Amino acid sequence: MRVALLTAVSTAAFLTSSCGGESGSTPSTNAPAPPPTLAVTLSKSSTDVTVAEGETASFGFMATYTGSSSDPVVPDVAINGKRYALDGTPTASGQKFDVALKTSDFAPGGKSTSTVTFRLCKSSACATVYPGSTQTFTVNLDVQLKDWAMFQRNSGHTGYVAARYDAQKIAQAWTWKVAPGLDARPVSADVDSVYVVEGKDDIPATADVADRVVRLDASNGQPVWDNELKIHNSISGASLNGGMLYINGIDLSTNTNPIYFINKSDGSIKYKNQFSSQYGEYMQPTIHAGKMYVAAGFYGDQVFGYDALTGSKLWESYGSFGITDGESVAVDSDSVYYYAGRGVDLFDPTTGVLKRTLENQYFTGGEYGWESALMLDGSGGIYGMNGTRAWPYSANAIIGYSTLSTQAVWKTAKQYIAHPALSNGFIYALRSDSRAIDAINTKDGSVAWSIPIPGSGNLRNNVVVTENLLFVSTETDTYAFDLKSSERKMVWSAPVSGMLAITPNNLLIVAGIDSVTAFQLS
């Protein structure tokens, strides 16, 4: 380096003398003066931001500089995070700039650490940066999506996740192979794990493989633990609450069918309670406010309430008519909602007292299994299939009820299969007479619009909806539709099929017969 520098200086001197320059003179230069130093300090170097699902958070910092310049002083802010942005242009007050930031609407879940770079420039193009002005601000962001805790996610069975995802970035993450001879049940999931029950509907029980429950690491699909239960005639998927999993097992014609209370940390059985049933297939228990609820009964038409923490039975009550098996009750702070065929029974969640029944004037008679669940919109609206439900192919009209009425308020003209999703005033349901999904208005049961579903496999499983995407699984494929585009076009598909769920760390889970596949959403 030193030799090269000396060579350059000698060459310059030679050229100057050759042009008649005075020996020893210094050539003139017009280099601009360097910009002055503007030393910036931030009011804080980092922040921790926690955002609940579907909400936003505002945060920011104050940047103060010392020094002065005769040229403009323009703030420049660069953000390398994806779930927040500037909330307006930084505002100036003397030698201070207030930088306001805000998280994106319906941000995907999870934790991330990113930086905001602040600097002062002579222009908005920032070709010249004032020395001493560049500072970084660290953002530790945690968007906390709720657990996929039970059938269709929550005690209102909506299947809705308040997040927006980019369909073009969906990528397969991992696949878990179910044990031979068993099928995957609908899963539950928290931020770290996916809980898979593997069992067989076998009445009477003839399988030689015991049912089991597996905790999978959500990051890679590898088992954290694997607990073998026993051979049942039927077994539900797991519901979760806090540190516990809850699973219904069915043994024929007994008052001692097991409800497993399982430690989710290690898979050990903490408690084991019982309920009555002669036969049938049961969905996941419903959890709400520290209590667990199961619809069953030796002859059907019973609802059982349990303490979710201690495992003790709190009450059992009879409904107004008779659903034999399969139902997952809906629950909110006011009532336990049980579809009884002739109507919807409302039980007190604490005592089990039957408070009233909303009449189903569209009831067609008979007792039957009802492998489905009522959906709650949080504003007194209750929605569910009408008539027998032999999962997953039975076709039924959808009935709308209201706690402000004494009977059903509407019935759809069309019939539907599988299990719908509910969000933002619409029920998204699979038509039984064509390959289409209808958006049903919750006010009157009318169809606002329909989307054709490609492919040829039978429609089945469940519907899941986010703020911008609608997920549907057929017998052969899974599809995503863009609800925000004018045509609501199909924007993604994968050749896997099964019951759908979305985890708090943005995995789309497809629980099929012989495998569980996870796709990363972002």
pLDDT per residue over 188-199, tens digit each? 999 999 999 999
End-to-end CA gap in the chain? 49
Same domain, 228 and 114: no
- Checking if the pLDDT of 279 tops 70, the result is no
Hunting for tokens 């934790």 — which residue is that?
A: 111
The whole-number average pLDDT for the span 398-404 is 97
- Give whole-number Cα distances, 506 to 87, 145, 354, in Å: 25, 9, 39
Q: Has residue 151 been placed in a domain?
A: no
Q: Are residues 443 and 494 in the same domain?
A: yes
Strand pairing class (160-161; 459-466): parallel
From residue 138, alpha-carbon distances to 29, 80, 306 in Å are 42, 10, 46
pLDDT number for residue 443: 98
Cα dist. 187→183, 304, 363 in Å? 12, 22, 32
Name the band, by pLDDT with cuts 50, 70 and 90, for residue 369. Answer: confident
Q: Which residues contact 11 (CB under 8 A, 6 or more apart)?
A: none
Mean pLDDT, residues 251-279 taken together: 82
- Contacts of residue 477, defined as CB under 8 A and 6 or more positions apart, other chains included, come to 455, 457, 493, 494, 495, 496, 497
131, 38 Cβ separation under 8 angstroms = yes
Query: Does 282 have pLDDT greater than 60?
Result: yes
The token pair at 234 is 């039927």
Q: Has residue 349 been placed in a domain?
A: yes
For residue 112, what are the domain limits?
39-144
**Residue 51, domain CATH:** 2.60.40.3450
Residues 51, 124: one domain? yes
| Pairing relationship of beta strands 459-466 and 330-331 according to DSSP bridges | unpaired
The pLDDT of residue 387 is 82
Give domain status of residue 112, yes or no. yes
Mean pLDDT along residues 331-359:
97
pTM as predicted:
0.91
Q: Is residue 359 part of a domain?
A: yes
**Partners of 66 in the β-ladder:** 39
- Residue 158, CB-side half-sphere exposure with 13 Å CA sphere: 22
CA distances in angstroms from 183 to 103, 275, 345, 370, 515, listed in the order given: 41, 24, 33, 21, 8
- Predicted confidence (pLDDT) at residue 289 exceeds the cutoff of 50: yes
482 in a domain, yes or no? yes
The first and second tokens of residue 111, run together, are 């934790």
DSSP 35: P
| C-beta neighbour count of 404 within 10 angstroms | 9
DSSP E strands: which ranges in 167-206? 171-177, 183-184, 188-189, 193-199
Model pLDDT, residue 498: 96
**34-43 as b/e, with b when 16 or more CB fall inside 10 Å?**
ebeebebebe
- Into how many domains does the chain fold? 2
Q: 24 or 374: whose pLDDT is higher?
A: 374
| 82 and 521 Cβ atoms separated by less than 8 Å | no
Question: What is d(CA 193, CA 147) in angstroms, rounded to the nearest whole number?
Answer: 10
What is the reported pLDDT for 57?
98
Which of 26-30, 31-35, 407-411 is predicted least confidently? 26-30
φ/ψ of 30, rounded to 5, equals -120, 30
**Which of 116, 144, 172 delimits the end of a domain?**
144
Strands 515-520 and 171-177: antiparallel
Render pLDDT for 136-161 as a digit per residue (tens, 0 to 9).
999 999 999 999 999 999 999 999 99
Structure tokens at 438: 């209808």
With bands split at pLDDT 50, 70 and 90, how would you rate the model's confidence at 13? very low
Q: Please give the pLDDT value at position 323.
A: 77
